[in-house]
Amino acid sequence: MTRRLRVGVVGVGHLGKHHARLLKTLDCDLVAVADPNEAARTFAAQTHGVPGFADHRELLGSANFKRVDAVSVVVPTKLHREVASVFLENGVDVLVEKPIARTSADGQALVDLARKHGRILQVGHVERFNPALRGIADIGMKARYIESHRLAPFSFRSTDIGVVLDLMIHDLDLVLALVRSEIVSVEAFGGAVFTPAEDMASAIIKFENGAVAHLTANRVALKPLRKMRVFSREGYASLDFQTGQGMLVKKAPGWDFEKLDLDRIDKTQVGDLWKFVFDGLLQVQQIELNEGNPLQEELVDFLRCCRERTTPIVPGEDGVAAVAAAERVLAAIARNRWE
């Protein structure tokens, strides 16, 4: 594609307005927005100087005028399949926010539609675009144990789904991307606090290759917390997304514990022991997690894929896999449901 992409945003509320703002600055033409909420629609349209429509189907244009080449779909999860299908069926590429849909079956239907019509389908798992996480993948850490905590105060948003599809889905996607192995078992517990769906959940997931992930999500916490630790035979990474700090610890080249001369250090001297370990045996790298703009990078990847017709970093298939894992967590929670 030689001309600039014409892009629209469907849903310009809390998150969608940021999609519109960033797209306005990227190598594309933001040509329209759609939202049934008049205030949100009017604000976005006036801010960016584009038409605003109450009905997302207006973004398609007409038989003689194709209004958009691609859209960013940022609507409630229960509407993802319905809205995204309209565009895929009409030859428009789609970035749909996470989760891809309420069920893996609905998500697979979108994947099938995209394949049938030769469209790009990307899922908005924005954490994949965090430089620190991509760095972990780049060094080839083969995760054996992962633990994550994702807590947030109650926001009154995404109440059409529970915390597993709202928050834990981020970490399910990250774990699947790191481990790259089939799930063999899931144990989970959770329950509702403020909403009809589960507001807190904890899951232990075991994989075919022996890896284990322990994930906790809570959307009724007093303070936000987003931490992840990834352990492998090569070392471990500790990431604190809330503070923007991380640490990567790896064994130094030539590491051989059996050949260490432990008698030459005074183990009662903490300073000597620390120097012995971290100056000679381990390599410690501080990681800045706040570098760049993951949402912007996600949108840049989407636009690139639309122009070059290449596979996104987070294709629809990955979105389906994350929801399928979430369904197994929800099934385990249902077996252990509290009264």
- 6-125 and 126-244+289-339 agree in CATH topology: no
pLDDT digits (tens, 9 = 90+) for 183-240: 999 999 998 887 777 899 999 999 999 999 999 999 998 899 999 999 988 788 888 8
| DSSP codes, 309-338 | T---SSBHHHHHHHHHHHHHHHHHHHHT--
pLDDT score for 114 = 98
Name the burial class of residue 96, with classes exposed (0-12), middle (13-18) and buried (19+) by CB atoms within 10 angstroms of its CB. buried
> Worst-scoring range by mean pLDDT, 158-162, 171-175, 186-190, 306-310?
158-162
pLDDT score for 3 = 77
pLDDT digits (tens, 9 = 90+) for 167-188: 999 999 999 999 989 999 999 9
CA distance 146 to 180: 13
Q: Taking a C-beta distance cutoff of 8 angstroms, is the pair 168, 241 a contact?
A: no
pLDDT score for 288 = 73
DSSP 82: H
pLDDT digits (tens, 9 = 90+) for 131-154: 777 667 655 568 899 999 999 988
Q: Taking a C-beta distance cutoff of 8 angstroms, is the pair 244, 289 a contact?
A: yes
Q: Taking a C-beta distance cutoff of 8 angstroms, is the pair 60, 284 a contact?
A: no
User: Taking 90 as the threshold, does the pLDDT of residue 100 lie above it?
Assistant: yes
pLDDT digits (tens, 9 = 90+) for 272-287: 555 555 555 677 778 7
Q: Taking a C-beta distance cutoff of 8 angstroms, is the pair 30, 24 a contact?
A: yes
User: Taking 90 as the threshold, does the pLDDT of residue 337 lie above it?
Assistant: no
Tell me what percent of the residues of the chain surpass a pLDDT of 70: 86
Token pair, residue 171, equals 């970490």
Q: Taking a C-beta distance cutoff of 8 angstroms, is the pair 167, 254 a contact?
A: no
pLDDT score for 201 = 94
Give the end-to-end CA distance of the chain in Å, rounded to a whole number.
56
Average pLDDT, the chain: 88
Of the candidates 25, 22, 34, 30, which has an alpha carbon nearest to the alpha carbon of residue 5?
30
CA distance 198 to 193: 7
What residues does each domain of the chain span?
6-125, 126-244+289-339, 251-283
Which pLDDT band, with edges at 50, 70 and 90, does 23 fall under? Answer: very high
Q: What is the helix, strand, coil percentage profile of the chain, to 5? A: 40, 25, 35
Which pLDDT band, with edges at 50, 70 and 90, does 257 fall under? Answer: low
Residues 6 or more apart whose CB falls under 8 angstroms from that of 222 comprise 153
CATH number of the structural domain 126-244+289-339 = 3.30.360.10
CA distance 230 to 40: 40
Q: Taking a C-beta distance cutoff of 8 angstroms, is the pair 87, 71 a contact?
A: yes
Name the range with the highest mean pLDDT among 14-28, 129-143, 255-269, 286-300. Answer: 14-28
**ω before 315 within 30° of 0 (cis)?**
no
Token pair, residue 184, equals 């063999």
Element (H, E) at 295: helix 294-308
CATH number of the structural domain 6-125 = 3.40.50.720
DSSP collapsed to 3 states, 119-174: CCEEEECHHHHCHHHHHHHHCCCCEEEEEEEEECCCCCCCCCCCHHHHHHHHHHHH
